[in-house]
Amino acid sequence: MSSETWLEQLHDNGYRVTAARRAVVDVVYGNTHALTPIEVYDQARKKYRALGLVTVYRTLEKLEELHLIQRVHQPIGCQAFISAGLGHQHLLLCKTCGQVEFFEGDDLDALTKSIARKTGYQIQEHWLQLFGLCANCK
């Protein structure tokens, strides 16, 4: 699987594959760090100098709409995006360098049910994120 997958997805959904979009997709696809629009812009401009920041916003918007990327929420801000994995996952984030790992294996069913009962809420989804220092940064 390469970034071509994403370009195909864009195409299959009626969007055009352009040089600007290729540059953005090349930066974000498979990147293990959460990137802000400006960071994407700076990196993508190395591949395609004429790129405009507006197009970065517009492309990220479409990638998010197709669930190819997802927004990353952190104590320092919530404007970064990361390549989305498939299905329901959780994030482990390095507070220093922004590296992201996915993990599964949470077992929140019992907790969720118990809280639903106690509170009367109908629980629809959950967010679980771990923060720390990656092997490099610690």
Partner DNA sequence: TACTTATTGAAAATGATTTTCAGTAAGAAA
Partner DNA sequence: TTTCTTACTGAAAATCATTTTCAATAAGTA
Binding site for Zn ion (CB under 5 A): 94, 96-97, 99, 134, 137
Q: Are the C-beta atoms of residues 100 and 93 closer than 8 Å to each other?
A: yes
Query: Which is closer to Mn ion, CB of 61 or CB of 106?
Result: 106
DSSP of 54-82, one letter per residue?
HHHHHHHHHHHHTTSEEEEEETTEEEEEE
Query: Which is closer to DNA, CB of 16 or CB of 117?
Result: 16
How far, in Å, CA of 15 to CA of 18, rounded? 9
Number of residues that bind DNA (CB under 7 A): 24
Give min distance, CB of 108 to a copy of itself, in A: 8
Query: Which is closer to a copy of itself, CB of 8 or CB of 61?
Result: 61
Query: Which is closer to DNA, CB of 11 or CB of 113?
Result: 11
Each as own residue / partner, the long-range contacts of residues 110-115 (CB below 8 Å, 24 or more positions apart, any chain) are none
- Smallest Cα–Cα separation from 32: which of 68, 76, 81, 71? 81
Could you say which residues in the range 45-74 bind DNA, by CB under 7 A? 48, 50-55, 57-59, 61
Query: ∠ CA(86), CA(57), CA(70), 5° rounding?
Result: 20
Give min distance, CB of 138 to DNA, in A: 28
Q: Which residues bind DNA (CB under 7 A)?
A: 11, 14-21, 36-38, 48, 50-55, 57-59, 61, 79
